[in-house]
């Protein structure tokens, strides 16, 4: 091989490598990213059971049921619709009624959302951004609750 051909083959190998990495990245973005929904969005979007999503909203007042060991049940609401959620594990320290939360998991066959992680605010002053934006968009946000 001449010097030029050598250089070309190195460049081509590098490009093929980058192409493979880019292909994998786009595939992974399509398959592995989880979408964010508020309860009212779920009426229009069809989310099949088993597909991982993030569900956000406020913890509905009076719906927190503890007691079956480490499993907790509660409802997440956006003041229009609400969705039943179960979670086994330790809830975040700032998990309270009427507080914004983001839960991540999938719907079971019975229509109950089984969360494997629950995120609340990191600090008493702020609402998770997605939830705040969602509530604002639905017109049920009061600045005073922030």
Partner 1 sequence: MVETGHFALVLAFALSLVQMLVPLVGARTGNQRLMAVGGPVTVTGFALTALSFAALASAYAGSDFSVASVWENSHSLQPMIYKITGTWGNHEGSMLLWVLILTFFGALVAVLGNNLPATLKANVLAVQGMIGAAFFLFILATSNPFIRLNPAPIEGRDLNPILQDLGLAIHPPMLYLGYVGFSICFSFSVAALIEGRIDASWARWVRPWTLVAWMFLTGGIAMGSYWAYYELGWGGFWFWDPVENASFMPWLAGTALLHSAIVMEKRSALKIWTLLLAILTFSLSLLGTFLVRSGVLTSVHAFATDPARGVFILCILTLFIGGSLALFALRASRLTVGGLFHPISREGALVLNNLFLTTATATVLVGTLYPLALEALTGGKISVGAPFFDLTFGPLMLPLLAIVPFGPLLAWKRGDVIAASQRLMAAFAAAIAAMLVTGLFIDGASVFAALGVGLAVWLVGGALTDLAVKSGFGSVAPAVMLRRLVGLPRSVFGTALAHLGLGLTLLGIVGTLCFGTEKILSMRPGETVELSGHTLRFEGLSPQKGPNFTEDRGRFLLMGADGNADGAITSAKRFYPVRQTVTTESGIRTIGLSQLYLSLGDENNDGSVVVRLWWKPLVTLIWGGGLVMMAGAAVSLLDRRLRVGAPAKRRTPAAALANPT
Q: Which residues of this protein are in contact with partner 1, per CB under 8 A?
A: 3, 6-7, 10, 14, 17-18, 21, 24-25, 27-29, 31-36, 52, 54, 66-67, 69-70, 88-91, 93-94, 104, 122-124, 126, 128-130, 133
Distance from the Cα of residue 137 to its chain's centroid: 18
CB of 135 to partner 1, least distance (A): 13
Of the pair 48, 69, the CB lying nearest partner 1 is at 69
d(CA 100, CA 135): 10
**How far lies 112's CA from each of 1, 25, 49, 145, in Å?**
64, 32, 9, 28
CB of 120 to partner 1, least distance (A): 10
């Amino acid at each position: 091989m001449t010097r030029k051909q050598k250089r070309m083959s190195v460049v081509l190998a590098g490009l093929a490598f980058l192409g493979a990495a880019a292909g994998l990245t786009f595939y992974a973005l399509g398959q592995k990213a989880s979408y964010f929904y508020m309860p009212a969005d779920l009426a229009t979007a069809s989310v099949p059971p088993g597909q991982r999503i993030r569900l956000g909203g406020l913890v509905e007042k009076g719906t927190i049921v503890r007691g079956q060991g480490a499993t907790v049940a509660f409802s997440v609401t956006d003041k229009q619709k609400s969705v039943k959620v179960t979670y086994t594990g330790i809830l975040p320290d700032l998990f309270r009624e009427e507080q914004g939360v983001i839960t991540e998991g999938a719907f079971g066959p019975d229509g109950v959302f089984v969360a494997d992680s629950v995120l609340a605010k990191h600090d008493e002053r702020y609402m998770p951004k997605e939830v705040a934006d969602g509530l604002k968009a639905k017109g049920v946000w009061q600045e005073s609750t922030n």
